[in-house]
């Protein structure tokens, strides 16, 4: 992967180039940035450049034997370290090496992957991931070996926040690494990295991607322009989220969310159960995208109620829904429903049981809608009830 292959982040690329030009290459550098900003691909492309046999002024060549090996994640001088679980039935202590096959597959599928994608790729269920002492000793002994084929040896430490106390074993190496050895750390949560590690590392801040970079990347990848505009609208500078939305069936979140609200308005228990089971068995990351989507759609309902303004970027089905549902979105019901979605997202982040999270979300939304109906009933003793009898909610 070359730097040129990575969308946007011109500022970060310029900083990396400056470092290389001046010959002052930090021996420990942390790529810190939010999900979907491109920090892992940036670190890898930088490693490829450092290790390239015929590096250009601005980038690696992308063609030499070294570049090709880095690209396939098989270069012997590029040492990957990331948190893992122990393999079932294996007594050996777990290490990144035992999981490289799964990692290559997951990274090739999505170079912007994050912690939860990795958990899913490893089928970790409720198991704890960590970077063990055993792994740290392995790094030390690998770096002690002198023979190598590249210009540099690189340790790429992804999800560096999972390096617990064992990380202290690496302090001396971080401070005074062997000649031509570079540590690249990557993290979405730099505040959780051991302070002893952090103080020995130069931090490179990778900001969220700008919307235009996301748009042009998606268009280059061949996605239809109309859908690209819609997805970029709620990607929040997160290419990971944008790609995920692209690969879902259009409006899947929309259909699921609209069904949820219809069910919460009043329905049969069996249908609720079916919805909960189906939604609960969806991938964790996709469900977080679902919560984001819900927040946006509710906000759109609220705006419509007050301004009667429709927004581009929504499908006609969604716009219809907004018109019909907006009478139920008052300031208090919006606040309650937002809280329900945010709580669900938080629980998913903390690895809560997915079906249970979705069940609770359903009850919270049902409660918010019931409270709203009560408020409207009270108000309607003075004037006729204007809402709630449309075809959408009559069924």
Q: Tell me the backbone φ, ψ of residue 62, rounded to 5 degrees.
A: 80, 0
The stretch among 58-66, 71-79, 185-193, 259-267 that binds Zn ion (CB under 5 A) is 58-66
CB-hemisphere CA count at 13 Å for 264?
27
Q: Tell me the backbone φ, ψ of residue 346, rounded to 5 degrees.
A: -65, -45
Tell me how far CA of residue 319 lies from CA of 18, 294, 311, 325, 365, in angstroms.
Answer: 49, 14, 8, 10, 21
The stretch among 64-72, 135-143, 238-246, 338-346 that binds Zn ion (CB under 5 A) is 64-72
Closest CB to Zn ion among residues 52, 159: 52
Closest CB to Zn ion among residues 47, 184: 47
Distance CA 277, CA 267 (A): 16
Q: Tell me the backbone φ, ψ of residue 365, rounded to 5 degrees.
A: -70, -40
The stretch among 31-39, 56-64, 288-296, 367-375 that binds Zn ion (CB under 5 A) is 56-64
Report, in Å, the least distance between residue 337 CB and Zn ion. 53
Q: Could you say which of 9, 60, 326, 354 contacts Zn ion (CB under 5 A)?
A: 60
Q: How far is CA 143 from the centre of its chain?
A: 31
Report, in Å, the least distance between residue 30 CB and Zn ion. 25
The stretch among 46-54, 75-83, 85-93, 386-394 that binds Zn ion (CB under 5 A) is 46-54
3-state helix, strand, coil in the chain (%, to 5): 60, 10, 35
DSSP, collapsed to helix, strand or coil, labels residue 187 as strand
Report, in Å, the least distance between residue 95 CB and Zn ion. 28
Lay out the site mask for Zn ion across 259-278 (x = CB under 5 A, - = otherwise).
--------------------
Q: Is residue 298 part of the contact set for Zn ion (CB under 5 A)?
A: no
Q: Tell me the backbone φ, ψ of residue 130, rounded to 5 degrees.
A: -155, 165
The answer to whether residues 246 and 223 touch, using CB atoms and an 8 Å cutoff, is yes
Closest CB to Zn ion among residues 75, 119: 75
User: How many other C-beta atoms can be found within 10 angstroms of the C-beta atom of residue 377?
Assistant: 11
Q: Is residue 52 part of the contact set for Zn ion (CB under 5 A)?
A: yes
Q: Could you say which of 64, 100, 219, 387 contacts Zn ion (CB under 5 A)?
A: 64
Closest CB to Zn ion among residues 77, 117: 77
Contacts of 46 (CB under 8 A, 6+ apart): 3, 16, 184
Q: Rule CB under 5 A: which of 67-86 touch Zn ion?
A: 67
Q: Is residue 1 part of the contact set for Zn ion (CB under 5 A)?
A: no
Place of tokens 């063609």: 63
Report, in Å, the least distance between residue 4 CB and Zn ion. 13
DSSP, collapsed to helix, strand or coil, labels residue 182 as strand
Place of tokens 């970077």: 131
Q: Could you say which of 20, 61, 121, 370 contacts Zn ion (CB under 5 A)?
A: 61
Report, in Å, the least distance between residue 47 CB and Zn ion. 12
Closest CB to Zn ion among residues 67, 261: 67
Report, in Å, the least distance between residue 46 CB and Zn ion. 13
In the complex, the residues that contact Zn ion under the rule CB under 5 A are 52, 60-61, 64, 67
């Amino acid at each position: 992967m070359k730097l040129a292959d990575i969308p946007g982040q011109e500022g970060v690329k310029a900083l990396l180039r400056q470092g290389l030009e001046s010959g002052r290459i930090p021996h420990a550098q942390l790529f810190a940035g939010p999900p979907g900003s491109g920090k892992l691909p940036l670190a890898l492309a930088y490693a490829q450049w450092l290790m390239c046999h015929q590096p250009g002024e601005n980038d690696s060549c992308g063609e030499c034997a070294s570049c090709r090996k880095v690209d396939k994640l098989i270069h012997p001088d590029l040492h990957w370290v990331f948190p893992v679980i122990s393999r079932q039935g294996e007594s050996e202590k777990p290490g990144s090496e035992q999981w490289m096959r799964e990692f290559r597959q997951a990274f090739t599928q999505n170079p912007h992957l994050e912690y939860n994608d990795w958990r899913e790729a490893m089928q970790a269920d409720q198991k704890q991931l960590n970077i063990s002492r055993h792994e740290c000793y392995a790094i030390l002994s690998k770096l002690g070996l002198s023979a190598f084929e590249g210009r540099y040896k690189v340790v790429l430490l992804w999800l560096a926040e999972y390096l617990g106390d064992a990380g202290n074993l690496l302090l001396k190496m971080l401070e005074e690494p062997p000649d031509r050895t570079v540590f690249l750390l990557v993290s979405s949560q730099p505040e959780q990295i051991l302070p002893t590690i952090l103080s020995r590392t130069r931090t490179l801040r990778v900001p969220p991607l700008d919307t235009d970079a996301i748009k042009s990347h998606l268009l280059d990848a061949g996605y239809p322009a109309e859908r690209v505009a819609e997805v970029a609208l709620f990607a929040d500078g997160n290419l990971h989220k944008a790609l995920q939305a692209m690969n879902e069936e259009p409006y899947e979140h929309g259909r699921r969310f609209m069904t949820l609200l219809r069910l919460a308005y009043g329905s049969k228990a069996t249908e609720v159960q079916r919805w909960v089971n189906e939604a609960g068995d969806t991938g964790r990351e996709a469900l977080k995208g679902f919560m984001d989507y819900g927040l946006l759609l509710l906000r759109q309902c609220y705006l419509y109620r007050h301004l009667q303004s429709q927004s581009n970027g929504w499908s006609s089905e969604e716009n219809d829904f907004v018109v019909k549902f907006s009478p139920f979105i008052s300031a208090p019901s919006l606040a309650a429903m937002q809280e329900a979605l945010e709580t669900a997202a938080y629980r998913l982040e903390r690895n809560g049981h997915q079906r249970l999270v979705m069940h609770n979300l359903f009850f919270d939304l049902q409660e918010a809608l019931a409270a709203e109906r009560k408020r409207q009933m009270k108000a309607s003793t003075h004037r006729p009830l204007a809402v709630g009898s449309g075809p959408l909610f009559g069924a």
